Amino acid sequence: MNSLVEPPHLRRARLAVAYSFLIHGVMFGAWASRIPAIKDQTGLDSTHLGFALLAASGGAVLAMSFAGVMAGRFGSRAVTVAMLLGYAVWVPSLALANSFVTLTAALLLVGAFQGSMDVAMNSNGLAVEQAGTRPIISRLHGTWSIGSFLGALVTIVAVSAGVSLLAQFCLLAVWMAVSAAVLSQTMLPHRQPAGGSGLRRPPRRLLALGFLIFCGMLAEGSAGDWSGVYMRTSVLSTEQQAALTLGAFSVAMAVSRLVGDRMTELLGAGRLVTLGAVLGAAGLGMALGVHLAVPSIIGFTMLGLGLGAIVPICLRAGGSQPGIPSGFGIAAVSTMGYAGLLTGPPIIGTVAGVVGLRAALGMVVLLLVVLAATAGRAVGAPVTITEPAVPTELP
């Protein structure tokens, strides 16, 4: 089947869903880069800002299961477009927030739209993958990482040009709205009937995948939030070396995701997750065991390379379960993953206050060892695309 030429409508759909991932990433990068400005605007201290930021993840977690049901009922394209429009409407509210209450409320709604779009576009990406000839989910997540970098770059340009926070977010909102109109015509019109997939307890197989993605995203969030602090306080590195550590980790994650689909074909999904977890544990273990800047930077780079493919593989497996609509499966697994991303950094911080940051990050190493030991059975057989699946609706 790999020798057949990809149909034009499918090529267009693949580019469209990749564009949706890029948009999602750009908005995350632009927002994250503006957090210091919003902190100054609202006058919040670090504690109150931290609690406000939790609202975004909380809104995403609360909305994800509902989004999975809606994707099954109305179609992943329709839900992606609707959530992107809602996202566009509410993004300027972040620039208008002037207190803890208004910022928390804005982040709760933006997080809900962001998380719902995440579920819907992953479901659509899986549909495109199943209709095509090769895996694409990991590359889509690599596209998100590229978008996040571009979003930060957009903010740098905006700040340099003297563009205000509100003006930047309004311009991005217009771009998102126009993009929603484009995606409504170009994304695959995939719809999988719900078949009784309303809100319910996920089956055991999804819980096993949820545990894997929980571990992976906990490790990802912990590295993102604490790697720089660890380098400065434990390794006693320079500020530039601390920034380089986070940058190397992020680039390694993106590279891992861009090559993850091909590696999945070569090694199989379960084996790739196992090897990735082993590589990540070894890298983080080296960073914690060797109190030197260069080996620590290499160690966090190894961690990024190991973690990169775990989330896409788990989402693919969650959306490919027999008898379970893809939207529901992806929503269930994503919710557990976001729970890890949400709880990991504060858990590390709390434990670090008692036993030190090095020992706290050591828990992540142990978690990755457990992930490596359980991944093969939880993920199951590799996804092999031999015939294009026929979408429920065709253009």
> 197: pLDDT confidence band, cut at 50, 70 and 90?
very low
pTM of the predicted protein model? 0.80
Residue 151's contacts (CB-CB under 8 Å, 6 or more residues apart) are: 25, 26, 27, 28, 29, 30, 31, 32, 33
Tens-place pLDDT, residues 92-126:
999 999 999 999 999 999 999 999 999 999 989 98
340-363 pLDDT tens trace: 887 787 788 888 888 888 999 999
Locate the domains of the chain by residue range. Answer: 8-186, 204-379
User: CATH number of 8-186: 3.40.50.150, 1.20.1250.20, 3.40.50.970, 3.50.50.60?
Assistant: 1.20.1250.20
Output phi, psi for 194, to 5 deg: -65, -40
Point out the least confidently predicted range of 235-239, 254-258, 380-384, 389-393: 389-393
CATH, range 204-379: 1.20.1250.20
pLDDT tens figures, 324-338: 877 778 888 888 888
- pLDDT of 86 over the 50 cut: yes
Q: What pLDDT, on the 0 to 100 scale, is given for residue 32? A: 79
> Are 8-186 and 204-379 in the same CATH fold?
yes
- How many C-beta atoms surround the C-beta of residue 47 within 10 A? 8
Burial of 171 (0-12, 13-18, 19+ CB in 10 A): middle
- What distance in Å separates the CA atoms of residue 241 and residue 150, rounded to the nearest whole number? 22
